[in-house]
Structure 1
Amino acid sequence: MEELPLDQVSTLLAVVDEGTFDAAAAALHVTPSAVSQRIKALEKRTGRVLLMRTKPVRPTESGQVVARFARQLALLERDARAELGLPGEESSDEARGPVPARLAIAVNADSLATWFLPALTRVPQDPPICFELYREDEAHTTALLREGQVMAAVTSSPDPVAGCTVRALGKARYLPVANPEFETRYLGEGRLVERLREAPVMVFDRRDEIQDGFVRALAADSEGGTPPGAGPVRHYVPTSEGFCDAIVAGLGWGLVPESQAVPLLRAGALSLLATDRTVDVPLFWQQWKLDSPALAAVAGAVVATAAAQLIPSG
């Protein structure tokens, strides 16, 4: 079996992370020609095209496997150097100590805005760990795991990505809310489900289906079949805080994480549209099957914080 030379593997990862051959060359302190030669040699060795020469460069499916392997090797090397008290290869000054482990994690915007950052503050920083967070919808974070871009993810999928483990975190509860004046203007008369189909609605992005799902669930018992979702007037606000602020401002109705909604409900800035209807989204922690102290420390902090902040899965 052909071995995968470490310099070629690490070069491929640098190209994937930096986005271009020139940027990878600068990061590795070699010439662009050397980067190109290493990638060509690795593709010849594996018998596969590993990179799509686009801008930015994208790994092929085979390239994702190699990039994931390279990232795992880099993490294991950092862990070993940290345990031995050795400086990282990136450091020319031993007084600086070990180079921190870098953990790439995918997390959805609502978790990032509510409970996830407090979880990271609980992670021990001896030796230090650097976090690189990728914001993505919880239904799509597993794609980043599959591509090797991240080592762990908060996801709504209980099905493990190949080479990963899964742990249930709990359920994130969402409440249907609107500005009180908006409610009076758009939702004050008639059946709520019919009014919601006509009223302006807030949507996070074009992948966000939670508002449509809420309206369909509200109508399912009485209408049967596949009822239509929310109305055609849609305002897209792709940040958790901005989404909530837009509802408070009266641009539209929407579903907001309970921890964000409750203080605003108590203050009278929002009204609850249905007292008996909530949406609970199960969340899971997926991570590489890798014996890494840094990754284990993050997982422990995330699971513990989620247990305190989310609704139990059972």
Structure 2
Amino acid sequence: MSAFQLDHLQTLLAVVEEASFDAAARRLRVTPSAVSQRIKALEQASGQILLQRTTPVMPTEAGSIVLRLARQVSLLEADARSALHADKGEGWFPLAVAVNADSLATWFLEAVSPLVEAGGVAFDIHREDQEHTTSLLRSGTVMAAVTSTSDAVQGCSVEPLGAMRYLAVCSPRFRSDHAIVPGDGSALARAPRVDFDRRDELQAEFVRRAAGPASVALQPRHFVPTSSDFARAVVLGFGWAMLPEQQCAAEIVSGRLIELAPGSFTEVRLFWQRWNLASTMLDSVTDAVRRGARASLHPFDQS
């Protein structure tokens, strides 16, 4: 295997991020033929096919490994440029992170906003379920992730952020229409619920605890795959759901939502996984996320 060249790694990164050879050529200001030649040279150097020539272009398993290297080199280069031109504010580095939708809707953006104001970081945020964000770390798509997985991905460090608390809520009219009373799991199991998508298990798990495993099978479901619209659907009476307390506290106080199990909640523990790489920029993001989580999430016992 030959040594990798910097411009070849940069080209691989551009092709994957732009999803095509032509778009990568425009970004790099070279011809599509030059992009193709660089990728072929990189594949020869690695002894592996790195890209699936599909629409959109996707990395192969080997390509994901080299892509991760390309991102790491790019990050270290950005750190060096920032250190060399600290007083000039030169350049913006696209930093890719994976964040679950509820964290995006409640605390994450506020946590990292000071970095945006300071300049130098352009966030490339990938929204993904907290149980699946680590797959983006493994593939080299992102450099860090808010995840519910406490086991560190190879080459990453992990630290606890805190727990998001979810409350079972619905509109007052919805509760009345479906005759739901506290402790009546069977009525809750018959009532329509709102799920984020088909991987969302929070509502199903709540019903299983309230009415038994068989109760979930025939329950009507609405699917609303954006966090703000998901919460709005519950307020409008589409169904009941588990909402982050930050997202429903004001509506409970105003009476637009009511709790179905007062005093009860479900916790989702969140962790921060990042590349185990010495990087000033990644350290700054980690510090900002750590502060934001401390202010917004609940601590939990790791024992």
TM-score range (shorter-chain normalised) is over 0.9
Counterparts of 1:124 and 1:25 in 2: how far apart (Å)? 28
What is aligned with 1:116?
Answer: 108
What is the DSSP-based 3-state SS (H/G/I as helix, E as strand, rest coil) of the residue aligned with 2:216?
A: coil
What is the DSSP-based 3-state SS (H/G/I as helix, E as strand, rest coil) of the residue aligned with 1:256?
A: strand
Aligned with residue 259 of structure 1, among 239, 246, 251: 246
Identity %: 50
What is aligned with 1:73?
Answer: 73
Question: Could you say if the C-alpha distance between residues 114 and 126 of structure 1 is closer, same or farther in structure 2, counting changes exceeding 3 Å?
Answer: closer
Contact 1:197/1:230, CA 8 A, preserved across alignment: no
Is residue 2:22 matched to residue 1:22?
yes
Contact 1:124/1:297, CA 8 A, preserved across alignment: no
Counterparts of 1:83 and 1:44 in 2: how far apart (Å)? 34
Q: Normalized against structure 1, the TM-score is what?
A: 0.91
Q: What is the 5 A alignment of 1:79-98?
A: 79-85=79-85, 97-98=89-90
What is aligned with 1:272?
Answer: 259
Deviation at 1:190, TM superposition (A): 9.1
What is the DSSP-based 3-state SS (H/G/I as helix, E as strand, rest coil) of the residue aligned with 2:268?
A: strand
Is residue 2:176 matched to residue 1:184?
yes
Counterparts of 1:48 and 1:190 in 2: how far apart (Å)? 60
Deviation at 1:189, TM superposition (A): 5.8
Q: C-alpha root-mean-square deviation of aligned residues, in Å?
A: 1.8
Deviation at 1:123, TM superposition (A): 3.1
Is residue 2:297 matched to residue 1:310?
yes
Counterparts of 1:167 and 1:252 in 2: how far apart (Å)? 35
5+ residue gaps, structure 2: none
What is aligned with 2:139?
Answer: 147
What is aligned with 1:301?
Answer: 288
What is the DSSP-based 3-state SS (H/G/I as helix, E as strand, rest coil) of the residue aligned with 2:98?
A: strand
The residue identity in structure 2 corresponding to 1:196 is L
What is aligned with 1:106?
Answer: 98
Deviation at 1:144, TM superposition (A): 1.0
Aligned with residue 288 of structure 1, among 272, 275, 282: 275
The residue identity in structure 2 corresponding to 1:52 is Q
Q: Deviations over 1:268-297 (max 9, x none)?
A: 001100124311000000111111111111
What is aligned with 1:40?
Answer: 40
The residue identity in structure 1 corresponding to 2:219 is P
Deviation at 1:101, TM superposition (A): 2.2
Q: Deviations over 1:27-76 (max 9, x none)?
A: 11111111111111211221111111111001011101111111111111
Q: Normalized against structure 2, the TM-score is what?
A: 0.94
Q: Deviations over 1:64-112 (max 9, x none)?
A: 111111111111111101111189xxxxxxxx75212221111011101
Question: Could you say if the C-alpha distance between residues 121 and 303 of structure 1 is closer, same or farther in structure 2, counting changes exceeding 3 Å?
Answer: same
Q: Deviations over 1:99-130 (max 9, x none)?
A: 12221111011101111111012337556211
What is the DSSP-based 3-state SS (H/G/I as helix, E as strand, rest coil) of the residue aligned with 2:95?
A: strand
Question: Could you say if the C-alpha distance between residues 215 and 14 of structure 1 is closer, same or farther in structure 2, counting changes exceeding 3 Å?
Answer: same
What is aligned with 2:150?
Answer: 158
What is aligned with 1:245?
Answer: 232
Counterparts of 1:260 and 1:98 in 2: how far apart (Å)? 38
The residue identity in structure 2 corresponding to 1:313 is F
Q: Is the deviation greater in 210-219 or in 261-270?
A: 210-219
Deviation at 1:191, TM superposition (A): 5.6
Question: Could you say if the C-alpha distance between residues 286 and 168 of structure 1 is closer, same or farther in structure 2, counting changes exceeding 3 Å?
Answer: same
Q: Deviations over 1:119-178 (max 9, x none)?
A: 012337556211111111111111111111111110010011111110100000000000
What is aligned with 1:214?
Answer: 206
Residues paired across the two proteins, number = 301
What is aligned with 1:57?
Answer: 57
Counterparts of 2:99 and 2:231 in 1: how far apart (Å)? 18
Counterparts of 1:33 and 1:124 in 2: how far apart (Å)? 36
Contact 1:216/1:227, CA 8 A, preserved across alignment: yes
